[in-house]
Amino acid sequence: MAVAAENQSQPPQNDLPYVLILKPPAAFSIFGDHFFHSPKFQFLKAFESPLPLSQFLLTHAQSVQAILTSASGSVTADTIRLLPHLDLVVTTSQGINHIDCSECRRRGIAVAGAGTIFSTDCADSAVGLLLDVLRKVSAANRYVKQGLWSSQGNYPLGNKVLGGKQVGIVGLGSIGTEVAKRLEAFRCSISYNSRSKKPSVPYTFYPNVVELAVNCDALIICCASTDETHHLIGKEVLSALGKDGVIINIARGPIIDEKELVQCLIKREIRGAGLDVFEHEPDVPVELLALDNVVMSPHNAFCTTESLEELRKTVVGNFEAFFSNEPLLTPVPLDDLPHLSACSW
The span from the CA of 335 to the CA of 102, in Å, is 9
Contact between 293 and 265 under an 8 Å Cβ cutoff? The reply is yes
- pLDDT, one tens digit per residue, over 165-183 is 999 999 999 999 999 999 9
Give the model's pLDDT for residue 236.
98
Question: pLDDT at residue 3 above 70?
Answer: no
Same domain flag for 61 and 134: no
- pLDDT, one tens digit per residue, over 78-108 is 999 999 999 999 999 888 888 999 999 999 9
Q: Look at the alpha carbons of 290, 134, 270, 342 in this order and tell me if their dihedral is positive or negative.
A: positive
Same domain flag for 31 and 150: no
Same domain flag for 123 and 111: no
Give the model's pLDDT for residue 169.
98
Same domain flag for 127 and 261: yes
- pLDDT, one tens digit per residue, over 114-156 is 999 999 999 999 999 999 999 999 999 999 999 999 999 998 8
Give the model's pLDDT for residue 112.
97
Same domain flag for 273 and 203: yes
Report the percent of the chain where pLDDT is more than 90.
81
Instruction: Name the helix (H) or strand (E) containing 133.
Output: helix 119-135
Residue 299: active-site member:
yes
Give the model's pLDDT for residue 280.
95
Domain boundaries, position 206 = 119-296
Same domain flag for 198 and 265: yes
Contact between 97 and 251 under an 8 Å Cβ cutoff? The reply is no
The span from the CA of 285 to the CA of 6, in Å, is 43
Question: pLDDT at residue 343 above 90?
Answer: no
Q: Is residue 344 part of a domain?
A: no
Q: Is residue 57 part of a domain?
A: yes
Same domain flag for 210 and 132: yes
Question: pLDDT at residue 7 above 90?
Answer: no
Same domain flag for 272 and 317: no
- pLDDT, one tens digit per residue, over 244-280 is 999 999 999 999 999 999 999 999 999 999 999 999 9
Give the model's pLDDT for residue 277.
96
Give the model's pLDDT for residue 337.
55
Give the model's pLDDT for residue 336.
62
Half-sphere CA count of 146, side-chain side, radius 13 A: 10
SS3 202: coil
The span from the CA of 109 to the CA of 82, in Å, is 13
Q: Tell me how crowded residue 7 is: count the other CB atoms within 10 A of its CB.
A: 8
CATH number of 287's domain: 3.40.50.720
Q: Is residue 333 part of a domain?
A: no
Give the model's pLDDT for residue 94.
83
Same domain flag for 124 and 248: yes
Residue 195: active-site member:
no
Which residue is catalytic, options 60, 98, 252, 271?
A: 252
Q: Is residue 287 part of a domain?
A: yes
Give the model's pLDDT for residue 340.
43
Same domain flag for 29 and 141: no
- pLDDT, one tens digit per residue, over 190-208 is 999 998 999 999 999 999 9
Half-sphere CA count of 70, side-chain side, radius 13 A: 15
The span from the CA of 77 to the CA of 157, in Å, is 53
Grade residue 8 by pLDDT with cuts at 50, 70 and 90.
very low
Q: Which residues pair with 193 in a beta bridge?
A: 170
Give the model's pLDDT for residue 2.
42
Question: pLDDT at residue 341 above 50?
Answer: no
Give the model's pLDDT for residue 97.
83
Last residue of a domain, one of 279, 296, 313: 296
Q: Is residue 160 part of a domain?
A: yes
Q: Is residue 342 part of a domain?
A: no
The span from the CA of 190 to the CA of 210, in Å, is 16
Q: Which residues pair with 21 in a beta bridge?
A: 45, 68
SS3 per-residue string spanning 99-130: ECHHHHHHHCCEEECCCCCCHHHHHHHHHHHH
Residue 281: active-site member:
yes
Which residue is catalytic, options 281, 310, 312, 339?
A: 281
- pLDDT, one tens digit per residue, over 58-77 is 999 999 999 999 988 899 99
Give the model's pLDDT for residue 158.
75
How many structural domains does the chain have? 2
Same domain flag for 289 and 315: no
| Sheet strands (E) in the chain | 18-21, 42-45, 64-69, 88-91, 110-112, 166-170, 189-193, 204-205, 218-221, 246-249, 272-275, 294-296
- pLDDT, one tens digit per residue, over 38-54 is 999 999 999 999 999 99
Same domain flag for 126 and 81: no
Sequence-separated (6 or more) residues with CB below 8 Å from residue 195:
338, 339
Q: Is residue 331 part of a domain?
A: no
Q: Is residue 334 part of a domain?
A: no
Contact between 222 and 342 under an 8 Å Cβ cutoff? The reply is yes
Mean pLDDT of the chain: 91
Question: pLDDT at residue 230 above 70?
Answer: yes
Which residue is catalytic, options 60, 98, 271, 299?
A: 299
Q: At what angle do helices 119-135 and 174-184 cross, to 10 degrees?
A: 50
CA distances (Å), origin 62, targets 24, 65, 230, 277: 22, 8, 37, 38
